[in-house]
Amino acid sequence: MAKRGNLFVISGPAGAGKSEIVKKLLAKHPEIKLSVSCTTRSPRPGEVNGVSYHFVDDAKFDALIAEDAFYEWAHVHQNRYGTLKSAVEEGLAAGNDMILEIDVQGCLNVMAQNPDATSIFVSPPSRANLEKRLVGRGTESEESLRVRLGNVAKEMAEAYKYDYIIIHRDWAEVPNALEIASDEVFAIITAKRLEKEKNVDFLDAFTADLTR
């Protein structure tokens, strides 16, 4: 039987670059799996159903809630997003380390249910950098920028509850900032794999072999 995988939850404010970091990590380490969430939002150009998300309508999302299919779900920016219990459970049982890239409320919810989950908060290096990233998207009015900065302040207040903080540096100053951040996530994953508790079976078998 495969050794059970570990669960990692990554979140952080919009504009911190968490999806780019996860994308880079998965490209380098394909044995790590991302759990595909359900969402009621419409697909963006290039997004593939079943790969980026399972895109579902409100009725289907309601049905999934009623079936208790979600590990956690949350309202994020006018839409609903949920992590499927089946996706997480099947991945972990198959021995894969699983990543959930979800919002802060979802992460707190997972941590409350699963003390063994490792939580990682990705932070921009500064307010100035965050503003630059949000404005750089070209979609922000003065008002929506103000609202977003207010939301970031709330999310940063929750960062104290996470196990690890990754600062995603400004790539104008640190050109390989993305690579560094994704290597840092991999270092956390590696440390979790090497925890004594995760390797007791090996120690027991080796000890038994030596003393037979």
C-alpha angle 145/148/154, rounded to 5°?
Answer: 145
Least distance (Å) from ligand 5GP to the CB of residue 44? 8
Indicate the residue among 103 and 184 with the shorter CB distance to ligand 5GP.
103
Indicate the residue among 72 and 140 with the shorter CB distance to ligand 5GP.
72
Least distance (Å) from ligand 5GP to the CB of residue 150? 16
> Rounded to an integer, what distance in angstroms lies between the CA atom of residue 120 and that of residue 163?
6
Least distance (Å) from ligand 5GP to the CB of residue 86? 13
Helical H segments across the chain, by residue range: 18-28, 58-66, 85-93, 104-113, 127-136, 142-158, 177-193, 200-210
Site for ligand 5GP contains 129 (CB under 6 A): no
> Rounded to an integer, what distance in angstroms lies between the CA atom of residue 57 and that of residue 7?
28
Least distance (Å) from ligand 5GP to the CB of residue 60? 14
CA dihedral 39, 77, 92, 191 (to 10 degrees): 150
Least distance (Å) from ligand 5GP to the CB of residue 183? 21
Nearest one of 210, 201, 207 to 2, comparing CA atoms: 201
Among 6, 33, 56, 103, interactor with ligand 5GP by CB under 6 A:
103
Site for ligand 5GP contains 74 (CB under 6 A): yes
Least distance (Å) from ligand 5GP to the CB of residue 115? 19
Six token digits for residue 199: 């390797």
Six token digits for residue 64: 């999934």
Among 88, 106, 121, 182, interactor with ligand 5GP by CB under 6 A:
106
x-or-dash pattern for ligand 5GP, window 9-48, by CB under 6 A?
-----x----------------------x---x-------
38-39 β-sheet, strand order: 54-55, 38-39, 79-84, 70-76
Give residues in contact with ligand 5GP (CB under 6 A). Answer: 14, 37, 41, 72, 74, 76, 81-83, 101-103, 105-106
